Structure 1
Amino acid sequence: MVDDMPGPGYEDNASPVDTDGHGTHTASIVGGVPVRGASLYGIAKGTARGGAPSSRIATYKACWTGGCGDMNILAAFDEAIADGVDLISISIGGPSRNFLQDSIALGSFHAMKRGILVSASAGNDGPYASSVQNVAPWIMTVAATGLDRRLKTLVKLGNGKKISGNSINTFTPKKQMYPLTSGARASNVTSDLYGNASACDTGTLNPQKVKGRIVLCKGQSNQDPTIKDLNGAGTIMTEDEMLDYGYTPIIPATYVLVNDGLKIERYINTTKNPTAVIQRTRTVHMDAPFIASFSSRGPQLITPNILKPDLAAPGINILAAYSKLPSLTGSLEDMRHYSFNILSGTSMSCPHATASAAYVKSFHPDWSPAAIKSALMTTATPLKIKPLEGELAFGAGQIQPIKAVHPGLVYDISMNDYISFLCKEGYNSTSIGKLIGGKKKYNCSDFKPAPGTDGLNYPSMSYLVRNPNSSISAVFLRSVKHVGYGKSVYKAKVTSPKGLSIRVTPSTLTFTKKHQKRSFTVVVKGGTMKGKTESLSALLEWDDGRHTVRSPIVVYRHTTS
């Protein structure tokens, strides 16, 4: 299931037509057929294809110009479930809420009941802590990572100097050089009371001093529409730190670092006839994967002992199909309409994970949603740990769908397990009945108490230290199912930081046949976290010589930030 929200200037169309492009983009990431020579006006050219191109896709329009209403989201879930879909991909999010008030959590629970895995975006409010969305444990929550392809836009000055900028500039220069000025020099105001001319604020520039020129605008706001309205030839903007994703301007434009902006300004102020040209964006290689700056971070606020996001997938500068109804930027002033577009967000990472789940399910159609999610999580590649973030940013790590087909072991979770978990979290029989739906009544006393610190057989382990003066003490009870062939003996390996003691009992798991289950206990001990780092990361690996089944272990303390 993918959303389709009309962009600025477009009226609601009571039909499945995509007037925004977002739905087309995300749907093609899941199942688009291979297209040779795909690009955005020649940028990022190559063969584009969805993660599961043989899939059949049904799309449900849940969003309109007024937003994504709960009733529409639930109706889309109901229709998808009734249509018999195998997986649901939902690139929609919002502030985390109690599961009974969260339409995506409710709809996802109903899907899980029917054996349908729901993949959802983690949100784009990073790098702030506790910004992660779609945190229900029955949802596969997906963070965004970067590709090994960076989009680079060069600015060439009349003195021969070249400065690297960041944008998705589709425009090819019509001249070798253009006159260059700055907002300060093009000002028509004498006081900052009317706005900041150096930043090219609306109404502060003299149209005659801007027309036909590239303008340096000092500031992080997107000033290309302002310069376009004044018939400028382009704009160079500044930012403190180069973003890891590109912005698509409506005229030739790019962002440069503040220090580079000062160099350009110095050139303007010391040259009689300063000139410059903004070149079309090209691609260069870079190291990957890495977590996107915008990708929402944990810890989550609803069920703190469940690690969210679950895993990560590519979501930066993703080339995919696009509707020709909207312009590339959604602006009515933008005349570019194209079959492809380059977008960034967890909206783009979510369908990558959905496609990976579809790939795994094609080999294992009888696997539960939890088993598929487990396979993707325990075979994921951990990313480099950053201070105060780590798994709270990327969960189990970057998806590896080919490895996930043969994970060796899976952590499975049934609906009754989720009910026991909800009972432990304080949900009563009435609220659980509302979540599940139907006429059947549910009483927490009828279910086996949820075990351990987190109360769920989750592939990752997380523990919130509410009082930094208290010692670390957590117990995780887990059960794994053998999904390999023949006899296998798995041995536990624990990697933990100084000050954290982790004991796994038993440390060896022996399986003699497929689908056999074995249980184990993980005991985590440590001193207080007072004055220490806000989180501690460890890793449990079960290895039989052919498979490595990874589970991140995260201990973090409560903060007021």
Structure 2
Amino acid sequence: MVRICMLTLFLLAMQFHWSYTHGSSDTVRKAYIVYMGDAPRSKSSATDLHHNLLSSVIKNKNVVSVFPSKMRKLHTTRSWDFLGMPQSLKRNHQTESNIIVGVLDTGLYIDAPSFDDKGFGPPPSKWKGTCQVGGRFTGCNNKVIGARFYTYGAPTPNSNPSPLDDEGHGSHTSSTIAGASIAGASLYGLAKGTARGGVPSARIAMYKVCWADGCSDIDLLAGLDDSISDRVDLISISIGGISDSYFEDPISIGAFHAMKKGILTTCSAGNDGPSLYTVENTAPWILTVGASGMDRQFRTLVKVGNGIQTNGFSINTFSPKRRLCDEGSLDANKVKGKIVLCKEGLIQDYVKPLGVSGAIVSLDQQQDTGFTFIIPAAFVDTNFGDKIDTYVNSTKNPHAVIYKSRAVRNAASPFVASFSSRGPNTLSSTIIKPDITAPGIDILAAYSKLASVTGDLQDNRFDVYNIISGTSMACPHVTASAAYIKTFHPRWSPAAIKSALMTTASELKIKDVEAELAYGAGQIDPVRALDPGLIYDLSKIDYIRFLCNEGYAGTTLRLFTEGKTNCSSIPNIGGHDALNYPSMYLQLTNPNSSISAIFHRTVKNVGLKKAIYKATVKAPANLKVTVVPKELAFSHLNEKKSFKVVIKGPPLKNITNVSASLEWSDTKHRVRSPIFIFLAN
């Protein structure tokens, strides 16, 4: 029987083969063989280990896939109030305390207040994990009940081989999910308030798979192996990378095996927006999360000596002082103690040693995110930047002030973050990705005092909280929301929880015409998702049917199915019937092709015992969307009803897409599915 741990072994073999044949023996000498649930075995010589691993792979009849390990990258308290989850929210505290969330990230700074275990009892009896101590990481507690670290794929020797967080990223994501409620939290006075996770009574298990150089496939898969066997309830991964196949992606592989055990895996979509075709972690059994903005933003007031001023974007913790930026372009004698005006970029490691006291960065592109700098700085738009430039060149003694950032209300929320990666899904032309969005801009959460606020070695600011932006910060919001749902519906499948979150999400305010490629079903609403009315459920066989439809077959499928799979024996393969997904997507490749598709879907009643749902379609005039039947009558809970959606329309000439939606309603529940047709490049 093929197990995930065998693939971990295969990846190790490939990594060691590459390292050995290319003369990099340090990694080989320090590596171990990993088996699910076992402690690391004894060391061996580089040559023996190399030959033993390769021979085991070549001779083992269970080998179905061998591919080289790649390095992947990391993708954070107003946000929970914004999502309708105040501290007074109704909770099943006892059930929530038995929820264990596995986080694959950079480790955890357990001394941060967010990980205080005051009031927590012992770990749930189902917990099978462990706590690895080492270096300055002295152990876990009843909040952080597990911690492991992995260095099999680390490209360079690590100075701190322990679960301790050297980067701050893992502490931030973990506390967003399940951090304890801490009053008076802030970053140097910014975002002051109560910092808390979405499920503050839940437990955390950290799997440190990322280091300063990135996150290797070997370590990711080993962490997924352990998290599944440790009996976590959900998995959160704010990591990503480009893959050419679901079968060469450790997150995809591990998440599939987690799904089979009833564990939902939530992943970040990536930070390469607003470009299309940039979304990552696109397997349909993964809940893929984009980033959105909330009703609080941080703006930095910039005033220039001639009286003009603007609110720039940044997280500026410095108090103001009165006083143009590619490397090598500045005269140290002229810029010392002054604010510099930069066009498009700011190389902090270059300007700080010159004694620059601040920077105003003029940007052409849309900016909706505040970043933290090692000097006072702010982003401004090009128009204001040009005015400053004119002022600087028209006076002998120009001066400006960059003020400390302040929180302001943003009436445009929720909106998609400009950096959030967009679809279409490059691995499948039948699934919209990302699936959903959550707050990912200017999120305050726990941090590590082993990393400066900016992560720059020249930065002398260290805190147990930080404000960060990214889809990495959006992902844990959805993980926590899924955990919250699970406390009320412990028997729901991963697909059921995913469906509940997607069909109750709200549309976002976005200027792009490719809306669904940016936010999928929309912004999460965790409280509404507790009672979605209807759910689109999926099981292992449904995903296997999908993979067969995508062209995977034979021994390749064994990586997921653990046995021989004959695709021809699985019914209803083909077209858009392959997956009972909550969203509906048609991708065209020929601008002269008419729109024609039929989507078959099945919903399960989880709302009122007796209910009649009526279909409502929103679509442009030139797109005909017909739902058959138009009403679904349910007489008991968990009853299933099927329907089909027939779509007809003219070719997409002079446009790239058309958007519609289907909503089922029984007057109490609104179950919305986006419908999107896209003309691919």
Whether TM-score is above 0.5 comes out as yes
Task: Tell me if 1:22 matches 2:169.
Answer: yes
* Amino acid paired to 1:372: I
For 1:457-515, what per-residue CA distance to the aligned partner results, in whole angstroms no more than 9, with x for missing partners? 00000011122211111111110000123210001111111211111111100100000
Residue 459 (structure 1) aligns with: 582
Which of residues 566, 569, 574 in structure 2 aligns to 1:446?
569
Residue 312 (structure 2) aligns with: 165
For 1:305-327, what per-residue CA distance to the aligned partner results, in whole angstroms no more than 9, with x for missing partners? 11111111000111111011011
For 1:220-275, what per-residue CA distance to the aligned partner results, in whole angstroms no more than 9, with x for missing partners? 11144333211122122211145100121101111222222222233223333322
* Amino acid paired to 2:633: T
Q: Indicate conservation of the 8 Å contact 2:416/2:510, yes or no.
A: no
Q: Indicate conservation of the 8 Å contact 2:240/2:281, yes or no.
A: yes
Cα displacement (A) at 1:385? 5.1
Q: Indicate conservation of the 8 Å contact 2:301/2:405, yes or no.
A: yes
Residue 2 (structure 1) aligns with: 104
Task: Tell me if 1:537 matches 2:662.
Answer: no
Task: Tell me if 1:232 matches 2:356.
Answer: yes
Task: Tell me if 1:285 matches 2:387.
Answer: no
Q: Indicate conservation of the 8 Å contact 2:339/2:358, yes or no.
A: yes
Equivalents in 1 of 2:450, 2:577: separation in Å?
Answer: 47
Cα displacement (A) at 1:5? 7.8
Secondary structure of 2:211's aligned partner = coil
Equivalents in 2 of 1:420, 1:272: separation in Å?
Answer: 72
Secondary structure of 1:57's aligned partner = strand
Q: Give me the CA root mean square deviation.
A: 1.8
Residue 424 (structure 1) aligns with: 549
Q: Indicate conservation of the 8 Å contact 1:28/1:50, yes or no.
A: yes
Give the TM-score of the pair, scaled to structure 1. 0.92
Q: Indicate conservation of the 8 Å contact 1:412/1:457, yes or no.
A: yes
Cα displacement (A) at 1:119? 0.4
Equivalents in 1 of 2:594, 2:639: separation in Å?
Answer: 36
Equivalents in 1 of 2:476, 2:580: separation in Å?
Answer: 25
Equivalents in 1 of 2:255, 2:558: separation in Å?
Answer: 15
Task: Tell me if 1:409 matches 2:534.
Answer: yes
Residue 507 (structure 1) aligns with: 630
- What is the percentage of aligned positions where both structures have the same residue? 55
Task: Tell me if 1:271 matches 2:382.
Answer: no
* Amino acid paired to 1:413: L
Cα displacement (A) at 1:451? 5.9
Moved more, 124-133 or 206-215: 206-215
Residue 307 (structure 1) aligns with: 432
Q: Indicate conservation of the 8 Å contact 1:121/1:142, yes or no.
A: yes
Which of residues 272, 280, 289 in structure 2 aligns to 1:125?
272
* Amino acid paired to 2:679: R
Equivalents in 1 of 2:246, 2:163: separation in Å?
Answer: 29
Q: Indicate conservation of the 8 Å contact 1:418/1:456, yes or no.
A: yes
* Amino acid paired to 1:430: T
For 1:81-102, what per-residue CA distance to the aligned partner results, in whole angstroms no more than 9, with x for missing partners? 0110110000001114211111
Secondary structure of 2:416's aligned partner = coil
Secondary structure of 1:423's aligned partner = helix
Q: Indicate conservation of the 8 Å contact 2:577/2:599, yes or no.
A: yes
Which of residues 152, 156, 169 in structure 1 aligns to 2:303?
156
Task: Tell me if 1:213 matches 2:314.
Answer: no
Residue 195 (structure 1) aligns with: none
Q: Indicate conservation of the 8 Å contact 1:166/1:242, yes or no.
A: no
Which of residues 219, 241, 249 in structure 2 aligns to 1:94?
241
Task: Tell me if 1:548 matches 2:673.
Answer: no
* Amino acid paired to 1:212: G
For 1:380-434, what per-residue CA distance to the aligned partner results, in whole angstroms no more than 9, with x for missing partners? 0012354431111100000000000000000000101111111111111211112
Give the TM-score of the pair, scaled to structure 2. 0.76
Q: Indicate conservation of the 8 Å contact 1:29/1:50, yes or no.
A: yes
Cα pair distance change 1:310/1:234, threshold 3 Å: same
Moved more, 340-349 or 149-158: 149-158
Cα pair distance change 1:204/1:126, threshold 3 Å: closer
Secondary structure of 2:496's aligned partner = helix
Cα displacement (A) at 1:159? 3.6
Count of matched residue positions in the alignment of Structure 1 and Structure 2: 532
* Amino acid paired to 1:4: T
* Amino acid paired to 2:234: L
Cα pair distance change 1:241/1:302, threshold 3 Å: closer
Q: Indicate conservation of the 8 Å contact 1:43/1:283, yes or no.
A: yes
Cα displacement (A) at 1:148? 0.8
Equivalents in 2 of 1:257, 1:527: separation in Å?
Answer: 40
Cα pair distance change 1:57/1:298, threshold 3 Å: same
Secondary structure of 1:60's aligned partner = strand
Equivalents in 1 of 2:349, 2:403: separation in Å?
Answer: 19
Task: Tell me if 1:558 matches 2:660.
Answer: no
Q: Indicate conservation of the 8 Å contact 1:144/1:345, yes or no.
A: yes
Which of residues 576, 595, 602 in structure 2 aligns to 1:479?
602
Cα pair distance change 1:415/1:250, threshold 3 Å: same
Query: Where do 5+ consecutive residues of structure 2 fail to align?
Result: 1-102, 109-153
Cα pair distance change 1:66/1:216, threshold 3 Å: closer
Equivalents in 2 of 1:12, 1:126: separation in Å?
Answer: 34
Equivalents in 1 of 2:461, 2:626: separation in Å?
Answer: 59
* Amino acid paired to 2:467: I
Residue 385 (structure 2) aligns with: 261
Cα pair distance change 1:134/1:78, threshold 3 Å: same
Equivalents in 1 of 2:357, 2:450: separation in Å?
Answer: 26
